[in-house]
A = this chain, B = another copy of it.
Amino acid sequence: MGEVASKAALAKRAAGALGRLTTGQKNEALLVMADALRREAAAIIEANAEDLERGRQGGTPQSMLDRLSLDTDRIDAIAEGLQQIAVLPDPVGDTLETLERPNGLIIEKIRVPLGVIGIIYEARPNVTVDAAGLCLKTGNAVVLRGGSAALSSNRKIVEVLHAALAGTNIPPEALQLIEDPNRSSVDELLKLNGLLDVIIPRGGSSLIQNVVKNATVPVIETGAGICHTYLDASAVAEMAESISLNAKAQRPSVCNSMETLLVHRSFAAEHLTALGEAFRSAKVELRGCSRTRTLIPWALPVTEENFATEYNDYILNIKVVDGIDEALEHIARYGTKHSECIVTEDEESAERFQDEVDAAAVYHNASTRFTDGFEFGYGAEIGISTQKLHARGPMGLPALTSTKYKIYGNGQIRS
């Protein structure tokens, strides 16, 4: 058995006992892990330096090096994340339903861990700790496959966590890191039915699409966000500007930021030029339809392909529409079912938009940037599901659980 299957088998063997630990035992282990990371920060930074050096020699862009880089502050923040997970309520063991049947059977529906979770991600070493913490808190064993660019960092982090877990009730085998940097190790992981219960990809759209297209293990699809904001005829100009600027420019690199602004023609006639100026001040490059370009002459022409692109950057498409119908059609065509917003004072339009848009989160008069586990008050976030099965939108701890029916009888048989 190669590395991938043998590590997944170890994780599976550890999962049973892990799933039956008390909340206290799991929380204690999370705190021990946090302490160990802080204590071993120097060694982790040293391992990270190897990754950075390799990256620089290989010509990795600076933005990727930034995401890869660790220092004492970042390690402290990562450890802090584990402490925050420790104080969250533990969903495992919750009774979701109790049915008493006419034949006397008592049926309880109980939350249980999923089992073994595979996480496939890129070169952010913080995900290694974050995913481990979230999975362990919910009683799940975890098999991590991080990007090869972060291999030295991940290996050292997992070594530190394994040593820490050895003194706790969590079996260290419950946390596995796949070290094989070849893509074949990802391919193998994707087909480990019977060992993995679910795979969650975290990263860019090509990583996610590879997982979705090739996995035979069930997947929770996360991430890709082509989000729209529609400024309706009755939108208040100030609010429209503040919401659309925030949705685009507060942090363009994330999935809940806006890529396309749809503007009702009457609102556009009055306010679009000023709005264009505001985006120019915020250093946002604009691409517009022909009606947009008469009002914002410095906008480049927008293409079909632009509408289908998740920029994650200071670039925005603008389209003037005749009304809510055209906005809804555009969103149905180009949206990724992530987060969509209408700015309007018209309650009927707002209701129609929220009912008809097919997306995880549909906003009336608020920025799409709020689609986030912390902003929703979940205290943690595994990712934002853009599929409709199992979990949709920001995923908190319950998204990492399944259920089991326990049935209590006294000899009942079926007739």
Contact = CB atoms under 8 A, between A and B. Distances in A.
When all copies of this chain in the complex are counted, the total is 2
Contact of A402 (B198, B216, B389, B404): B389
Interface stretch (A58-66, A238-246, A281-289, A306-314): A238-246
Given A220-B389, A375-B101, A404 B359 contact: yes
A99 B377 contact: yes
A183 interface: no
**Interface of A: prevailing SS:** mixed
A390 B354 CA distance: 24
Nearest to A372: B414
B414 A246 contact: yes
Given A20-B356, A362-B404, A364-B408, A388 B216 contact: no
Given A358-B16, A369-B414, A392 B375 contact: no
Interface in A355-393: 355-356, 358-367, 369-371, 375-377, 387-390, 392-393
Given A115-B358, A356-B20, A393-B405, A376 B107 contact: yes
B242 A367 contact: no
A397 interface: no
A50 B377 CA distance: 60
Given A114-B389, A242-B413, A414-B369, A362 B250 contact: no
Contacts of A197: 387-389
A16 B114 CA distance: 32
B392 A402 contact: yes
Given A99-B376, A360-B404, A406-B354, A367 B218 contact: no
